[in-house]
Amino acid sequence: MKKFIDESWLVLVLGAVFAVLLAGAQTSFSTRIRTNQQRALNEAIGEVVPGTQRSEVVPIEGYPRDVFKCQDADGRLTGWAIDAVGLGFADKIRLVIGLSPDAETITGIKVIDNVETPGLGNKIAGEGEDAWANQFRGLKATGRVVRVKQKARPENNEIQAITGATISSDAVTRTVNEAIERVRSKLPTP
Amino acid sequence: MAAPTTNLQQFKAGLLDNNPVLVQLLGMCPTLAVSNSVENALVMGAAVFFVLTMSNLITSLLRNRIKPHVRILIFTLTIATFVTIADLTLRAYVFEVSKKLGPFVPLIIVNCIIIARAEMVAIKSGVWRSLADAWGCAIGFTLALCILATIRELLGAGGITILRDAGWAWHVSPKAFEPHAWVIMIMPPGAFLTLGVVIGIVNHLRARGARGGA
Q: What is the ipTM of this complex?
A: 0.81
Nearest CA in chain B to A18: B81
Report helix, strand and coil shares of chain A as percent, to nearest 5. 40, 25, 35
Write down the pLDDT at residue B175.
Answer: 60
> For residue A52, which phi and psi values (nearest 5 degrees)?
-75, 130
Write down the pLDDT at residue B2.
Answer: 58
Write down the pLDDT at residue B37.
Answer: 84
Say if the Cβ atoms of A14 and B78 lie within 8 Å.
yes
Give domain status of residue A35, yes or no: no
Q: Is the dihedral of CA B181, B20, B95, A99 positive or negative?
A: positive
Residue scoring higher pLDDT (B84 or B17): B84
Q: Please check whether residue B28 is in contact with residue B149, taking contact to mean a CB–CB distance below 8 angstroms.
A: no
The rounded radius of gyration (Å) of the Cα atoms in chain B is 18
- Rounded mean pLDDT, A47-56: 90
Query: Amino acid letter at A26?
Result: Q
**Interface list for B 149-188 with A (CB within 8 A):** 187-188
Residue B101, classified by CB atoms within 10 Å of its CB into exposed (0-12), middle (13-18) or buried (19+), is buried
Question: Does A23 contact B at CB distance below 8 Å?
Answer: no
- Other CB atoms within a 10 A radius of the CB of residue A88 amount to 28
Say if the Cβ atoms of A7 and B67 lie within 8 Å.
yes
Give domain status of residue A67, yes or no: yes
Write down the pLDDT at residue B4.
Answer: 73
pLDDT, averaged across chain A:
90
Strand ranges, E, within chain A:
54-57, 67-71, 77-87, 92-99, 106-113, 146-148, 158-160
- Rounded mean pLDDT, A66-82: 91
Question: Does B85 contact A at CB distance below 8 Å?
Answer: yes
How many angstroms separate the CA of residue B101 from the nearest CA in chain A?
10
* pLDDT band, very low/low/confident/very high, at B19 (cuts 50, 70, 90): very high
- Three-state DSSP state, B27: coil
Write down the pLDDT at residue B174.
Answer: 56
Nearest CA in chain A to B75: A11
Question: Does A90 contact B at CB distance below 8 Å?
Answer: yes
Q: How far apart are the first and last CA of chain A?
A: 69
Q: Please check whether residue A54 is in contact with residue A46, taking contact to mean a CB–CB distance below 8 angstroms.
A: no
Residue scoring higher pLDDT (A182 or B179): A182
Interface-testing mutation among A3, A18, A117, with chain B (most B C-beta atoms within 10 A): A18
Write down the pLDDT at residue B158.
Answer: 67
Q: Tell me how far apart the alpha carbons of residues A162 and A124 are, in angstroms, rounded to a whole number.
A: 8
β-bridge pairing A67-71 and A77-87? antiparallel
Which residues of chain A are within 8 Å of residue B33 when distances are taken between CB atoms? Answer: 118
Range of the structural domain that residue A106 is part of: 42-184
Write down the pLDDT at residue B173.
Answer: 56
Give domain status of residue B195, yes or no: yes
Interface-testing mutation among A33, A95, A124, with chain B (most B C-beta atoms within 10 A): A33
Give domain status of residue B1, yes or no: no
In this predicted model, what pLDDT tens digit does every residue of B74-119 receive, in sequence order?
999 999 999 999 999 999 998 988 888 888 899 899 899 999 999 9
Give domain status of residue A98, yes or no: yes
Write down the pLDDT at residue B44.
Answer: 94
Which residues of chain A are within 8 Å of residue B67 when distances are taken between CB atoms? Answer: 7, 10
pLDDT higher than threshold 70 for residue B214: no
- Tell me the count of A-B CB pairs closer than 8 A: 60
Write down the pLDDT at residue B1.
Answer: 47
Q: Please check whether residue A148 is in contact with residue A160, taking contact to mean a CB–CB distance below 8 angstroms.
A: yes
Question: Does B107 contact A at CB distance below 8 Å?
Answer: no
Q: Please count the structural domains in chain B.
A: 1
Write down the pLDDT at residue B163.
Answer: 63
In this predicted model, what pLDDT tens digit does every residue of B130-186 receive, in sequence order?
999 999 999 999 999 999 998 998 887 766 767 654 455 566 555 666 666 677 888
In this predicted model, what pLDDT tens digit does every residue of B185-195 receive, in sequence order?
888 889 999 99
- Rounded mean pLDDT, A177-190: 88
Interface-testing mutation among B76, B89, B97, B192, with chain A (most A C-beta atoms within 10 A): B89
- Rounded mean pLDDT, A172-180: 94
The per-residue DSSP string of B30-69 comes to HHHHHTTSHHHHHHHHHHHHHHHHHHHHHHHHTTTT--GG
Q: Please check whether residue A108 is in contact with residue A133, taking contact to mean a CB–CB distance below 8 angstroms.
A: yes
pLDDT higher than threshold 90 for residue B6: no
Point out the least confidently predicted range of A107-111, A118-122, B15-19, B35-39.
A118-122
Nearest CA in chain A to B33: A118
pLDDT higher than threshold 60 for residue A172: yes
Q: Tell me how far apart the alpha carbons of residues A60 and A188 are, in angstroms, rounded to a whole number.
A: 9
* pLDDT band, very low/low/confident/very high, at A98 (cuts 50, 70, 90): very high
Say if the Cβ atoms of B81 and A21 lie within 8 Å.
yes
Give domain status of residue A7, yes or no: no
Range of the structural domain that residue B22 is part of: 7-213
Q: Please check whether residue B37 is in contact with residue B149, taking contact to mean a CB–CB distance below 8 angstroms.
A: yes
Alpha-carbon distances, residue A132 vs A93, A121, B187 (angstroms): 15, 11, 17
Alpha-carbon distances, residue A117 vs A114, A141, A167 (angstroms): 9, 28, 11
Question: Does B93 contact A at CB distance below 8 Å?
Answer: yes
Q: Please count the structural domains in chain A.
A: 1
Write down the pLDDT at residue A155.
Answer: 80
The residues, any chain, with a CB within 8 Å of residue A159's CB and separated by 6 or more, are: A135, A136, A139, A145, A146, A147, A148, A169, A173
- Rounded mean pLDDT, A146-168: 87
Question: Does B78 contact A at CB distance below 8 Å?
Answer: yes
Write down the pLDDT at residue B182.
Answer: 76
Give domain status of residue A124, yes or no: yes
Give domain status of residue B2, yes or no: no
Q: Please check whether residue B113 is in contact with residue B137, taking contact to mean a CB–CB distance below 8 angstroms.
A: yes
Which residues of chain B are within 8 Å of residue A27 when distances are taken between CB atoms? Answer: none
Give the global pTM: 0.81
pLDDT, averaged across chain B:
87
Interface-testing mutation among A3, A5, A7, A14, with chain B (most B C-beta atoms within 10 A): A14
Give domain status of residue A29, yes or no: no
**Distance, CA of A44 to chain centre:** 10
- The Cα angle at residue B136 between residues B63 and B195, in degrees rounded to 5: 120
pLDDT higher than threshold 70 for residue A22: yes
